[in-house]
Amino acid sequence: MKKIITFICLVFVFTLVGTSLPSFSKNTDKVASTLNYRLVDGTYIIRMDKGQEIMSTLKQFCEEKKIYAATIQGIGAGENLNIGFFNTKTKQYEVKNIKDCVEITSLLGNVTMKNDEPFIHLHITTADSFHSVSGGHLLSGEIALTGEIFVRPLNTKLNRTFVPEMGINTFDMK
C-alpha cells in the first residue's frame, strides 16, 4: 500500500512540474532507447529530435533491431545537411552543404547490407524559406526541429555489391 501511495504522489508531483514520468521499461538498445518510436503493423514509426544525426542514427537503429532490408520514408526539418549528386563521369559525389534549417519535404530510400552492416541509402528533397528546392543523396545531416520517419522492414536480407564500371554499390540479386 505504501508503494502505491508513493507512486500516486510521484505522478502528482510530475504532473505539477510538467514533466513526464520516467520510463520503467528495460530497453537495452542504445540508440533505440534514445529514440521515440513504436512498431505498428510491421512498420517502425520514429520521431527524431533536434540534433540527432540522421544517417548514423538510422544505421544504429537498424543494427539493433536486426533490420537487413527495409524501405524508409520521412519528412521534417534538417540542418547541416550534406547532399550529394553522383557525377557518372568522375564517379564522385559533388557535395552541397546546407547549414541553415530547411524543410525536409521528402526523405526516401532503403536499407540493405554492405560488408555485413546495414547500409542506409537515402535521397532527400528540401525547401528553404524562399521555397527553393534542392535534393540528392543524403550523405549526412542533423534534425533541426523534428523528423518523422517510417522504417518498414522487409522479410529478406538484401546485399550490395560494388560495380566498378558504374562506380557504385548496387543490389546483389543472388
Residue 52 falls inside a structural domain: yes
Torsion sign across C-alpha atoms 35, 151, 55, 116? positive
For the chain, 174 residues long, give each residue's pLDDT as a single digit of tens.
444 444 444 333 333 334 333 333 334 466 667 789 999 999 999 999 999 999 999 999 999 999 999 999 999 999 999 999 999 999 999 999 999 999 999 999 999 999 999 999 999 999 999 999 999 999 999 999 999 999 999 999 999 999 999 999 999 998
Range of the domain at 138: 25-172
Residue 8 falls inside a structural domain: no
Residue 44 falls inside a structural domain: yes
Residue 104 falls inside a structural domain: yes
pTM of the model: 0.81
Number of structural domains the chain divides into: 1
Residue 146's CATH number? 3.30.1330.80
Residue 15 falls inside a structural domain: no
Instruction: Report residue 77 as a C-alpha cell.
Output: 526539418
Residue 108 falls inside a structural domain: yes
